[in-house]
Amino acid sequence: MSALAARISRTVRDPHFRLAAKDMAGTSLGIGAWGLVTGVAMVKSGMSVPLALLMSLVVYAGSAQLAVIPLLTVGAPLWVIWLTAACVNLRFVIFSSMWRSYFAHRPLRERLAIGYFSGDVIYVSFMNRFPDPKPRPEQVPYFWGAATTNWIAWQVPSIAGILLANAVPLSWGLGFAGVLALLGVLLSLLFDRATWLATGVAATAAVAAFALPLKLNILVAIAAAVAAGLLMEAMDRRRKGRHPEMLLVPADSVMPPEERQHMKDGDVVPLREERHP
């Protein structure tokens, strides 16, 4: 058995791999429905089966695929298609910056693989399990358990939709099923005030700009949501700066590096105990 095969075997047998698969089971049905609809939509839009299969395996980003399919259908300029896909996937830049604290020490090839297999639901599940941004041995098998479950839940229905698209009548209403699947996935990602606000702003902007050609209302919605998220983050930082946390430090202790950084950022005010003879 090669070293790679041995590593894969150890990862799959790790209990955290199975724990991640269990955590992802609840959203797998929605992911599968979304993948099926996307596969059917690609072929129904006029894309050849080999090209659709290649797109499903290489792009592996359902929101980007669904966003560019209407643009491909109407013959939109290539720059609009690329810009739309890039804007839809901007969130992965944020995910990567957050995952850097956990995986920056891993080999480059593994980090590239993590980048390919990363996803919204995986990110939420991972951060719920490991909110403290410090590398731990169980994080790697947990990520791969979540990533494997999500990849299979997407690719199998997506490929089935591509291969069976011409046998699926439009009267089945798969488009509405896809909307329901997206809503289920979306609700699983709304976990704080900032995400709720950004989602509300994006929905409002998309409806307000619906009349724009070439589905440009999607770009408007993304830009509005990003702006709202950045504004919320700036406001939270300013609020924390005005009301720093009080940290009681024992007299003989050494302040850890991360707490010293918080002190420099103005997040905490250290109060060191005094000892009197």
Determine the pLDDT at residue 16: 93
- Cβ neighbours for 253, distance < 8 A, ≥ 6 positions apart: none
Q: According to the model, what pLDDT value does residue 112 have?
A: 92
Strand partners, 268: 245
DSSP 8-state class, residue 67:
H
Single out the residue of 13, 7, 14, 67 nearest to residue 42, CA to CA. Answer: 67
Residue 153 has a CB neighbour count (10 Å cut-off) of 22
* 3-class DSSP assignment, residue 192: coil
Number of H helices, E strands in the chain: 13, 2
Residue indicated by tokens 């358990």: 145
Burial of 23 (0-12, 13-18, 19+ CB in 10 A): buried
Q: What is the mean pLDDT of each run of 10 residues along the chain (277 residues)?
A: 77 92 86 86 88 91 83 84 84 84 91 90 89 90 95 94 81 60 67 78 89 78 80 74 58 64 59 51
Residue 32: closest CA among 162, 119, 151, 153? 153
CB–CB of 232/197 below 8 Å?
Answer: yes
| pLDDT value of position 252 | 61
Q: What is the pLDDT of residue 267?
A: 58
Residues in the chain: 277
pLDDT score for 162: 93
Q: What is the pLDDT of residue 179?
A: 64
Q: Identify the H or E element spanning 55.
A: helix 49-58
269, containing H or E segment = strand 268-272
Contact 39, 161 (CB under 8 A): yes
Instruction: Give pLDDT, residue 276.
Output: 46
Distance CA 162, CA 176 (A): 18
Q: What angle do CA 10, 13, 15 make, to 5 degrees?
A: 120
Question: Quick one: pLDDT at residue 265?
Answer: 62
Contacts of 242 (CB under 8 A, 6+ apart): none
Instruction: Note the pTM of the prediction, 2 decimals.
Output: 0.69
Q: What are the residues facing 245 on neighbouring strands?
A: 268
Question: Encoding tokens for residue 111?
Answer: 């980090």
* Residue from 15, 27, 4 nearest 141 by CA: 15
Q: Nearest CA to 31 among 147, 178, 143?
A: 178
Over its C-alpha atoms, the chain yields an Rg (Å, rounded) of: 23
